[in-house]
Homo-oligomer: A and B are copies of this chain.
Amino acid sequence: MSGRPLDVLEAALEDVVTVTLKDGTAYYGTLAGYDQHMNAVLEPSADAEDAVGDLDATAVEDTTIIRGDNVVTIQT
């Protein structure tokens, strides 16, 4: 149940995550990568049903790099 934030991201690789941004938008997709700034890479998920958290999140349609300083929350 425990873990530091980047460890939780590491464990979430290849899983579907929902990323909520400061502008109020949210994206979900398969977490393909991240770095220490919480920059993240989302890939389209094969299963759109996998979205977690925010019901209004948008599925990414292409490989999408999200710059970490826009991130509010990442739900795994």
Contacts and interface: CB of A to CB of B under 8 A. Distances in A.
A10 to B, nearest CB: 11
A interface majority secondary structure? mixed
Contacts of A21: 72
A35 B6 CA distance: 9
A47 interface: no
A75 B64 contact: yes
B53 A64 contact: yes
Contact of A33 (B4, B27, B30): B4
Interface in A51-76: 52-53, 60-76
Interface in A1-59: 1-9, 13-14, 21-24, 27, 30, 32-35, 38-41, 43, 52-53
